[in-house]
Amino acid sequence: MGNSGNSGSNQMWGGRFAAGPSAIMREINASIPFDKALWRQDIAASKAHADMLGAQGIIAADDAALIAGGLDRVAAEYEASGVPENWDLEDIHMTTESRLAELIGPAAGRLHTARSRNDQVATDFRLWVRDAVDQAMNGLLDLQKALVARAGEHAGSIMPGFTHLQTAQPVTLGHHLMAYHEMVARDVSRFAAARVRMNECPLGSAALAGTGFPIDRTRTAAALGFDRPTRNSLDSVSDRDFALDYLMAAAQCSLHLSRLAEEFIIWASQPFGFVTLPDSLSTGSSIMPQKKNPDAAELVRGHSGRIIGCLTALMITMKGLPLAYSKDMQNDKPPVFEAANLLGLSIAAMTGMVAEATFRTERMRAAAELGYATATDLADWLVRAAGVPFREAHHITGAAVKLAESRGIALDQLPLEDLQGIDPRIDDSVYGALSVEASVAARASHGGTAPSEVSKRVAEAARALGLEE
């Protein structure tokens, strides 16, 4: 074997790490490239902490005022020029404190009294996630409004309803859109519930055990808009349930957005032709001039996979961590930041698509007729009007559908003599049940597809959303 020794720098480190393990540690330890996104929250929490320290007499009132003014100056710099990335300062907390010291001198060192970076980051991150929840709920409100508005326009527009993507029974487009409104309403409720759970303030838990200083945690909690301070300092600095709650709600929401996107992708395809997508959310082909690609919808569909991946990443990170804080938790923010960005884009894209799409309702209606969507209505009529057992009615209906299909006509276009040739118990009153209009009108049970029922649900949702009826 050759000589295993080496001269000069240890080549095991390789590439940009030729300087050795210190270079690796510097890079792996620094979080400033991503946690600089917390700067607004870090400034707000630091101001609340400094105010409390001054009010409690833990630091001098003059120092508290000097710190507050200095933090405002730091915030103005960040707003104007962004947060500088000095990896030796590691994170947003040290970056801000270092700049504060340059601006106001030794008084800056008093800011960190009675707190740790552990409770500081837990507070900052919780504030950021709370803002992300509010942004998601606001975006979903706009999507709900778009769905309800378009459903109101199309409460009576007939289309095929599908199971297994096979024509099943006629429904209305309004009914179909309101199904997504229900999904989105549940998404809003999940975000709202997550917000309630996360709205407790960890600040004052310090490193893990609390502090011996006479702090007022209720004051800082109230200043930051929290309902109350957290109840256990160990849990406070190591808890990331609030981030998981957000990601779980985001993942579920992304599934709904992906399903809605898939509907538009299918409907916009030439074989369906149910919808014309807005130009602003479509692209053309580089070589096929006839194409109009539903790229925005496809990206929304794809984003759901990434958002679910973000949830999985944080769950796996947290699954084996003992109390209290571990450095693994530095990896909590990138998946949340990524998911929030993707979710915001997805919500906005689908809101625009619902609001601006042109629905080709005549094409939808024709598809419902040619798909023999009223076959169940014929079977139901045989049961109700002729007293035929349902299984026999199902067989009779199958024969009628086969005959209509062979002629390329709708069921209600079959002559009475042909229907009676299949079963003599059929009379001309059957035609009152065979049209797609009659089919949807008959399904007036609560939550059904009858236009009258759809209009009721639209009106209820419009009132709840503050829309004019």
Q: What is the pLDDT of residues 429-461, one digit of tens each?
A: 998 888 889 889 989 999 999 999 999 999 999
Question: What pLDDT is stored for residue 6 in this prediction?
Answer: 43
Instruction: Report how far residue 234's alpha carbon sits from residue 324's, in angstroms, rounded to the nearest whole number.
Output: 6
Instruction: Report how far residue 176's alpha carbon sits from residue 370's, in angstroms, rounded to the nearest whole number.
Output: 19
Question: What pLDDT is stored for residue 4 in this prediction?
Answer: 43
SS3 state at 444? coil
Tokens read off for 24: 């690796």
- What is the radius of gyration, based on Cα positions, of the chain? 31
State how far the alpha carbon of 321 is from the alpha carbons of 2, 126, 232, 329, 335, in Å: 43, 19, 17, 9, 18
Question: What pLDDT is stored for residue 168 in this prediction?
Answer: 85
**Which residues in 223-314 belong to E strands, given as ranges?**
228-229, 275-276, 283-284, 292-293
Contact of 125 with 132, CB cutoff 8 Å: no
Instruction: Report how far residue 79's alpha carbon sits from residue 114's, in angstroms, rounded to the nearest whole number.
Output: 28
Count Cβ atoms within 10 A of the Cβ of residue 87 and give its class: 0-12 exposed, 13-18 middle, 19 or more buried. middle
Contact of 148 with 176, CB cutoff 8 Å: no
Active site residue 285: yes
**What is the dihedral angle through the alpha carbons of 65, 66, 72, 78, rounded to the nearest 10 degrees?**
-150
Question: What pLDDT is stored for residue 288 in this prediction?
Answer: 52
Question: What pLDDT is stored for residue 403 in this prediction?
Answer: 94
Question: What pLDDT is stored for residue 316 in this prediction?
Answer: 97
Instruction: Report how far residue 148's alpha carbon sits from residue 354's, in angstroms, rounded to the nearest whole number.
Output: 10
Residue 289: how many CA atoms within 13 Å on its side-chain side?
A: 0
**Element holding 248 (H helix, E strand):** helix 241-268
Question: What pLDDT is stored for residue 2 in this prediction?
Answer: 45
Instruction: Please name the residue that has the structure tokens 């209606």.
Output: 365
Question: What pLDDT is stored for residue 22 in this prediction?
Answer: 80
Closest CA to 104 of 68, 58, 133: 68
Instruction: Report how far residue 242's alpha carbon sits from residue 191's, in angstroms, rounded to the nearest whole number.
Output: 11
Tell me which DSSP letter residue 428 carries.
G
Instruction: Report how far residue 248's alpha carbon sits from residue 265's, in angstroms, rounded to the nearest whole number.
Output: 25
Residue 158 backbone dihedrals phi, psi, to 5 degrees: -85, 140
**What is the dihedral angle through the alpha carbons of 408, 409, 411, 412, rounded to the nearest 10 degrees?**
-170
Residue 200 backbone dihedrals phi, psi, to 5 degrees: -125, 145
Residue 358 backbone dihedrals phi, psi, to 5 degrees: -105, 115
Contact of 91 with 30, CB cutoff 8 Å: yes
Report the 10 Å Cβ neighbour count for 394. 16
Question: What pLDDT is stored for residue 203 in this prediction?
Answer: 98
Active site residue 49: no
Closest CA to 348 of 183, 143, 177: 143
Helices 61-81 and 39-55 pack at an angle, to 10 degrees, of: 170
State how far the alpha carbon of 215 is from the alpha carbons of 66, 115, 119, in Å: 19, 10, 14
Residue 283 backbone dihedrals phi, psi, to 5 degrees: -135, 165
Question: What pLDDT is stored for residue 434 in this prediction?
Answer: 86
Instruction: Report how far residue 125's alpha carbon sits from residue 113's, in angstroms, rounded to the nearest whole number.
Output: 20
Q: Are strands 158-163 and 166-172 parallel, antiparallel or unpaired?
A: antiparallel
The catalytic residue among 81, 164, 286, 406 is 164
Tell me which DSSP letter residue 321 carries.
P
The catalytic residue among 9, 285, 326, 429 is 285
**Residue numbers of the chain with a pLDDT score lower than 70:** 1-21, 283-291, 468-469
Report the 10 Å Cβ neighbour count for 19. 12
Instruction: Report how far residue 156's alpha carbon sits from residue 441's, in angstroms, rounded to the nearest whole number.
Output: 9
Question: What pLDDT is stored for residue 468 in this prediction?
Answer: 67
Query: Taking phi first (over 0 means left), then psi (-120 to 50 degrees means alpha), and beta for anything else, what does residue 448 get?
Result: beta
44-98 residue pLDDT tens: 999 999 999 999 999 999 999 999 999 999 999 999 999 999 988 989 999 999 9
